[in-house]
Amino acid sequence: MKRLASSLFLIMILLAMLISPFMLGDYLTAMLFLIFTYVILTVSWWFFCSTTKYVSLGTAAFVGLGAYITALFCRPLSVPLAILLGGCITFLVAFAIGLVTLRLKGVYFTIFTFGLSEFLSNAILWYENIYVGTIGRIVPSLDVRTLYYAQLAFLLLSLLFIKLTLRTKIGLALKAIGESEDTAIHCGVNHVFYKSLGFAISSMLMGIAGGLLAIRWAYIDPRIIFNPLFSFQPPVMATLGGVSTFYGPILGAIVLSSLSEYLSLQLKEYYMIFFGIIIIVVIYLMPGGVSQLITIRRKGQAIK
Amino acid sequence: MYPTSLFFDILLGGIILGALYSLISLGLNLQFGVTKVLNVAHGEFMIIASYLSYVFFTSFKMDPFFSLLIILPFFFFIGFALERGLFGRLFLRLSVDEAVSISLLMCFGLMFIIQNVLMLIFGRTEKSYEYFSQTVDIAGAIFPLNRIIVGVAGVVLNFAIYNFLTFTQPGRALRASIMEPIGAQLVGINISKLRSYALGLGLIASGLAGMLISMFYAITPYSGSVYTIIALIVIILGGFGSMLGSILGGITLGFVSYVTMRFMSSTLVLVVFYAIFLLILLIRPQGLFRR
């Protein structure tokens, strides 16, 4: 009965998301597009970083890489092909980075990814200055509604993909590494390979999301697409929602991205101050996130 | 340009930047070593000090070195209060792994707040002031005098901090708690007290570096995070918890960055740093100078 109710609820939400572009204006549709983007980024961050407990701060690097490759190849190829190519290249790049950095303990990885987007944006700036001459790139744009459906489809696919991958051998290996890496190695888990693979999968999703963002913005340059905010938001959103469940990060991303969109509209550019205060206060009060509170309450009821 | 003057040019330029980099990374290394808080807002705190010395210089005609009398106690107090009010309690409540990643997120919060409060007060435009900007000729290498002052002060400060950490009782206690937290407690070192001192001292180092930087660079509210990245790369280069490593690593990167800026392009500096970073990770992940 409970299962039926929750699946009915999910179907209702899905229907609402399908018809909402016709009910809402362009502005709200664009906002939903952005929220979906953040959900994808947060869940793919969560997929690798919470299972293995290796904190990555490199989301912006992969978003930017995907966006840049999409911008480069959308004229010779078609737009969807360019986005997919962006995903493939981010997959390969992330796999290579993983092979090098994930052999080491967590802090090295965190520090490396922290500067990665700055590094890529500088490298691309330098390249374009010397060899291309111009810095920004114009991308053929599509209308908001088409993009909305593309992003919705990608969101559902990636959620399904992550959920299923967690059940396969890859997901099990990642979880085992997160629980106790030494034990996992002793049990014969090829830890470097699986960590790199998990990192590459999560980065690929980020890259595709970046490609879609590039199409949405119609113009990109390294300073815009390698925005450090993309790196910081996913861990914050996932932590606020609670990393122990699958729905926590989704919830956190929805709440926080709509909140920051609202605040940025109300307070213009100073909303980041409030955003910072919110991060500190909320994390300080509940380090386990919102979903942990819910599970605690459920457990409490069960005891009664 | 004569070869000798080129030699002096690279030597001085490298030492000036290097002393600055080691100062920044010493502070961060000390903070992370003792408290396990990866303070990504380190560069932002530095920029606060730069803005403070800018304000004191332009409004009150106060010498930047003199303004340290106000900046340093203030910074020490901030570090102390942050540990007492925020991070210390986190580490009491949670396991170390959780506390490390959660305090990291909190530092991001701090970073956003600092950047945008500075934005609110000072605006987006670059700020700088004229302090001994006449040039001096040292064996054919021409530098503005303020850079020479920065270089000398940087070297002296690094030396002082290193000696403090190596030869004094509190310095030994700090290093002991980096190397063996439990062992340090067993011999009677009060770690929870030491944590607040470590955070305060780290901020003092960033205050010093920020004051020095304001003398010869123009600053914006967002120029801090690059220094955080540089400090982190220096720490990797020198090894976690190794103070001598931080100093030597900082000097090395100072030379690399000066040569890159001088002969190639300043946008390439971070690219070169990353190449070094990757190389170190591949060859010697425990750091170049770690015993």
Phi, psi angles (nearest 5°) of residue A62: -80, -35
CB contact under 8 A, A273 and B112: yes
Q: Is residue B81 within 8 Å of residue B193, measured between CB atoms?
A: no
Once rounded to an integer, what is the mean pLDDT over residues B273-289?
79
CA distance to partner chain B, nearest, from residue A4 (Å):
36
Amino acid A303: pLDDT: 41
Please tell me which of the candidates B94, B120, B232 has its beta carbon nearest to residue A115: B232
CA distance to partner chain B, nearest, from residue A17 (Å):
32
The span from the CA of A242 to the CA of A232, in Å, is 16
CA distance to partner chain B, nearest, from residue A15 (Å):
36
Phi, psi angles (nearest 5°) of residue B168: -100, 165
Ordered by start, the domain boundaries in chain A are: 25-303
In chain A, the residue whose alpha carbon lies closest to the alpha carbon of B273 is A119
Amino acid A205: pLDDT: 93
In chain B, the residue whose alpha carbon lies closest to the alpha carbon of A56 is B101
The span from the CA of A253 to the CA of A241, in Å, is 7
pLDDT band at B238 (very low <50, low <70, confident <90, very high): confident
Which residues in A lie closer than 8 A to residue B268 (C-beta atoms)?
A: 122, 126
Once rounded to an integer, what is the mean pLDDT over residues B242-249?
88
Ordered by start, the domain boundaries in chain B are: 3-223
Q: Which residues pair with B138 in a beta bridge?
A: B141
Name the least confident of A63-72, A129-138, B116-125, B195-204. A129-138
CB contact under 8 A, A112 and B277: yes
CA distance to partner chain B, nearest, from residue A271 (Å):
9
**Is the pLDDT assigned to residue B103 strictly greater than 50?**
yes
Phi, psi angles (nearest 5°) of residue A193: -65, -50
Average pLDDT over chain A, rounded to whole? 84
Q: What is the dihedral of CA A38, A42, A47, A52, to 10 degrees?
A: 160
> To probe the interface with B, which of A119, A130, A277 has the most B CB atoms within 10 Å?
A119
Once rounded to an integer, what is the mean pLDDT over residues B191-210?
90
* Pairing between β-strand B135-138 and β-strand A219-220 as defined by DSSP bridges: unpaired
CA distance to partner chain B, nearest, from residue A204 (Å):
22
Which residues in B lie closer than 8 A to residue A283 (C-beta atoms)?
A: 102, 105-106, 109
Q: Which of A204-208, A231-235, B57-61, B103-107 has the highest mean pLDDT?
A: A204-208
Amino acid A74: pLDDT: 81
Which residues in B lie closer than 8 A to residue A100 (C-beta atoms)?
A: 278, 281-282
Please tell me which of the candidates A107, A272, A284 has its beta carbon nearest to residue B112: A272
Percent of chain B scoring above 90 in pLDDT: 25
Name the least confident of A59-73, A89-103, B77-91, B131-145. B131-145
Does A276 lie at the interface with B, CB-CB under 8 angstroms?
A: yes
Helices (H), chain A: 2-23, 26-52, 59-73, 79-101, 106-127, 144-167, 169-179, 181-186, 191-217, 222-225, 228-241, 247-267, 271-285, 290-303
The span from the CA of B180 to the CA of A33, in Å, is 50
In chain B, the residue whose alpha carbon lies closest to the alpha carbon of A130 is B265
Once rounded to an integer, what is the mean pLDDT over residues B106-114?
89
* Residue B261 one-letter amino acid: M
Which residues in B lie closer than 8 A to residue A256 (C-beta atoms)?
A: none
Nearest to B248 by CA among B18, B30, B17: B18
Instruction: Report how many Cβ contacts below 8 Å link chain A to chain B.
Output: 116
CA distance to partner chain B, nearest, from residue A274 (Å):
8
Please tell me which of the candidates B115, B229, B267 has its beta carbon nearest to residue A114: B229
The span from the CA of B32 to the CA of B19, in Å, is 20
Once rounded to an integer, what is the mean pLDDT over residues B173-185?
86
Phi/psi region, residue A88 (left: phi>0; alpha: psi -120 to 50; beta: rest), is alpha
Amino acid B251: pLDDT: 92
Q: Is residue A82 within 8 Å of residue A69, measured between CB atoms?
A: yes
Q: What letter would DSSP give residue B223? A: T
Percent of chain B scoring above 70 in pLDDT: 99
Which regions of chain A are under pLDDT 70?
Answer: 1, 269, 287-304
Q: Is residue B217 within 8 Å of residue B209, measured between CB atoms?
A: no
* Residue B58 one-letter amino acid: T
The span from the CA of A294 to the CA of A242, in Å, is 10
At the top level of CATH, the class of A25-303 is mainly alpha
The span from the CA of A36 to the CA of A30, in Å, is 10
Convert the pLDDT of each residue in A17-66 to its tens digit: 888 777 777 788 888 888 999 999 999 999 988 888 888 888 999 999 99
Which residues in B lie closer than 8 A to residue A119 (C-beta atoms)?
A: 270-271, 273-274
Tokens of residue B90, six digits: 């986190």
DSSP state letters, A255-278: HHHHHHHHHHHHHGGGHHHHHHHH
The span from the CA of B195 to the CA of B30, in Å, is 10
Amino acid A302: pLDDT: 43
Amino acid B94: pLDDT: 78
pTM of the model: 0.84
Does A228 lie at the interface with B, CB-CB under 8 angstroms?
A: yes
Alpha carbon distances (Å) from B170 to A237, B31, B74, B194, B205: 40, 15, 20, 9, 16
Amino acid A304: pLDDT: 37
Is A24 strand, coil or helix? coil
**Is the pLDDT assigned to residue B179 strictly greater than 70?**
yes
CB contact under 8 A, A279 and B105: yes
CB contact under 8 A, A270 and B116: yes
Tokens of residue B81, six digits: 């209060």
Does A258 lie at the interface with B, CB-CB under 8 angstroms?
A: no
